[in-house]
Amino acid sequence: MSDILPDSATVSRVLWQLRDEWDLNPLYSQTDTVDCMLAQHCNTLALIDDTSEVSCAYYEKASTAGNSQRMKILSELLVTEVTYVDTLKNVVGVYLNPMREAKVLSETELREIFSNIEVILAFHNDHFLPAVTYAISRPEMAVGSVFLHHSAHFRLYSTYTNNHEVS
């Protein structure tokens, strides 16, 4: 760890500058509707694989009245995970990478502030979200098995949370 950390005013100023530069609206993720997010995710899936029609049809069923509580919960799980991955991408793309490229802070200081967020993003984006999406699109699959299968990877958060006070 570095003995000299930037003061909070400096970090705050840099973050606000990046926010203004990238024209970020802090209410964006709060105002998206579930349907809009599902549609965006389904459009992304359509570019990735041919099973997206099945997956998206399943999600759309969950939003109609009279469907099972399980389908609604699974849809909420998907929306939450997609939102989380998008938020991590924004933090890395809008804050971490520009600060790294501009050499505003040293690598040590960036690690102290952002910890292992890039590893967490890679896990969720490349492994966990696709596995959840696949499991949800197949009603016969137990979604809980996805959590069990990936449970060891959730230890990534111990590094992140243990570094919280330092950051």
The string of pLDDT tens digits covering residues 40-92 is 555 555 444 444 444 455 555 554 544 578 788 888 999 999 999 999 999 99
What residues make up the domain containing 121?
46-162
Rounded CA-CA distance 123/74 in Å is 20
What total number of domains does the chain contain? 1
- pTM (2 d.p.): 0.61
The three-point CA angle 30-82-124 to 5° equals 130
Q: Is residue 51 part of a domain?
A: yes
CATH number at residue 82: 1.20.900.10
Instruction: Share the mean pLDDT of the chain.
Output: 75
Q: Is residue 17 part of a domain?
A: no
Q: Is residue 86 part of a domain?
A: yes
Q: Is residue 157 part of a domain?
A: yes
Of 1-10, 110-119, 155-164, the one with minimum mean pLDDT is 1-10
Q: Is residue 36 part of a domain?
A: no
Q: Is residue 124 part of a domain?
A: yes
The 3-state secondary structure of 91-102 reads: HHHHHHHHHHHC
Look at the alpha carbons of 83, 66, 55, 136 in this order and tell me if their dihedral is positive or negative. Answer: positive
Q: Is residue 11 part of a domain?
A: no
Q: Is residue 29 part of a domain?
A: no
Q: Which residues of 63-94 are buried (b: 16+ CB within 10 A; e: fewer)?
A: eeeeeeeebeebbebbbebbbbbbebeeebeb
> Is the model more confident about 44 or about 115?
115
Tell me the two tokens of residue 153: 């990877």
